[in-house]
Amino acid sequence: MRKGRPQGSPFARSEECISMKLWQGRLGGDVDERLDRLNKSIGFDARMYKQDITGSIAHARMLGKIGVLTEEEKEAIVAGLQGILADIDAGKLQIDMSCEDIHTFVEGELTRRIGQPGKKLHTARSRNDQVALDLRLYLADEIEATRARCKAVVETLCDVAEKHLHTVMPGYTHLQRAQPVTLAHHLMAYAQMLLRDRERLAECRARTLVSPLGSGALAGTGYPLDRQYVAEQLHMNGVSENSLDAVADRDFVLELLADFAILMAHLSRFAEEICLWCSWEFRFMALDDRFSTGSSIMPQKKNPDLAELIRGKAGRVYGSLTTLLTAVKGLPLAYNKDLQEDKEAVFDALDTVNLCLDVLPPMLQTATFFPERMRAAAAAGFLNATDCADYLVSKGVPFRDAYAISGQLVRLCVERGETLDTLPLEEYRKVHPAFGEDVYPFIDLSNCVSKRKVHGGPAPEAVQAQIETARKALVSER
Ligand code: ARG
């Protein structure tokens, strides 16, 4: 029994597993309690139990196939592992948190259940290739779940956008009103970003699904392993080519963290706009009360805390990427324990990304948008000044001259407290004789939007086409 184990621990404990360290042959006696606390990873790697067991089943079947295990031994191991998995899933078996890691727990529990054959499972395998396999399988499963969440956000954006194809709002550059767009067009910009995030995740998943098993601790093994057979059983895309690389690198984790960082950059920009739009300065939208918070002192407050948290959590995910980049930097080949740091970093990022993605669909579905406020902001901002110049171009005036004339008219409007839509025609004519009555429909905001039919533009039919393409992308990509 380990010394100094905290009493009254809520976790079960299987004598077989923790009564001895895996490596007790070489080292004598109990290790220091402080080493144990720093060293053990079961607190965070327990979540990979399913992948650890599935990987072991594939390994055992392969050892049976090549004759390293007898048929009976293989059957006993497979059945034992399946029983452990079923019992953990059913809540009948608790993972013993006093074990060093999930691999130790599963192997110990197997031997406790089936005896001798259990001790043969680890033949031709090291925890170094095992943990790389487990993490690859675990992340591949999780990537699919995160991609499904991205899909739900994109679907929501498409649905909300479809209701606002004609909702004119200011488009901004430098956070200054620039040209008119629609709410649909603006929302679909984020849908495009998320579609690329989904694509990046799929590509990362394909590179993640490469089996390192057979690399051993670092130098492969003398057993005639059928590595391909293991990969096939686990629905992986192939096997690694270099045993040192396979146990030492974590670029698949780094790539995922980088993808998450980009995804969070996108979400944080959207979140920032939601904060702005909910402010009384903008008042373009209001969040449902269920997705807002109040203040403990200011009775009038309704705060977009969720959007702020999404914005804030981006920093946390960037932190995880930096953590792992720093952990692998300068590491000599092959496995070093520093690599154990990969899991907490990527699990935290994964949980954070999922939390943020989960809140967006209901938050957007229940939000109220204020089209009249958006239109008023668009009307007051001289967003049609470019179109006013384009009007003159249509009358044969060179664009550079038309640009200057339109600027002059804007200045005049500002002085007179008018907009281009209300400025009398005689004022227009004083500046240039080419202006006629038809300038008013030409610079009408809805017109300014609807004529921008170019592929990717804000015209309602162009955005409708964009929505359809986005929906198709969501269905076609598995
Ligand atoms: N918990 C370890 C990790 O996450 C498993 C590999 C242990 N290997 C070793 N040589 N100590 O990396």
The pLDDT tens digits for 112-165 are 999 999 999 999 999 999 999 999 999 999 999 999 999 999 999 999 999 999
pLDDT, one tens digit per residue, over 243-296 is 999 999 999 999 999 999 999 999 999 999 999 999 999 999 999 999 888 888
Q: What is the mean pLDDT of residues 300-306?
A: 88
**How many CB atoms neighbour CB 305 within 10 A?**
15
> Which pLDDT belongs to residue 478?
56
Q: Name which of 278, 348, 364 is nearest 313 in CA terms.
A: 348
Distance 342 CA to ligand 1 centre (A): 11
C-beta of residue 448 within 8 angstroms of C-beta of residue 434: no
d(CA 15, CA 26): 21
CA nearest 215: which of 185, 247, 168, 254?
247
Element (H, E) at 105: helix 102-114
Pocket of ligand 1 (CB under 6 A): 41, 45, 101, 127-128, 131, 335, 337, 339-340
Ligand 1 geometric centre to CA of 254 (Å): 18
- Considering only CA atoms, which residue is closest to atom 10 of ligand 1? 128
Residues identified as active-site: 174, 295
In Å, how far from its chain's centre is CA 30?
A: 42
CA 263 to chain centre: 5
For the segment 443-461, the average pLDDT, to the nearest whole number, is 96
pLDDT of residue 3: 39
Cα(297) to centroid(ligand 1), Å: 50
Handedness of CA 88, 93, 98, 104 (dihedral sign): negative
Q: Which class for 440: exposed (0-12), middle (13-18), buried (19 or more C-beta within 10 A)?
A: middle
Atom of ligand 1 nearest to the CA of 100: 1
- Most informative mutation of 27, 36, 39, 41 for ligand 1 (most atoms within 8 A of CB): 41
Question: With bands split at pLDDT 50, 70 and 90, how would you rate the model's confidence at 298?
Answer: confident
Sole residue written with tokens 């146990």? 247
What is the CA(55)–ligand 1 centre distance, in A?
Answer: 16
- Minimal-distance CA residue to ligand 1 atom 3: 340
pLDDT above 70 coverage of the chain, percent: 95
How far apart are the CA of 66 and the centre of ligand 1, in A? 27
CA distance 417 to 343: 61
Q: Which atom of ligand 1 is nearest to the CA of 135?
A: 4
Question: How far apart, in whole angstroms, are the C-alpha atoms of residue 439 and residue 37?
Answer: 76
Tokens read off for 70: 């007898």
Residue closest via CA to ligand 1's atom 11 equals: 337
DSSP string, 430-452: HH-TT--TTHHHHH-HHHHHHT-
pLDDT digits (tens, 9 = 90+) for 371-413: 999 999 999 889 999 999 999 999 999 999 999 999 999 999 9
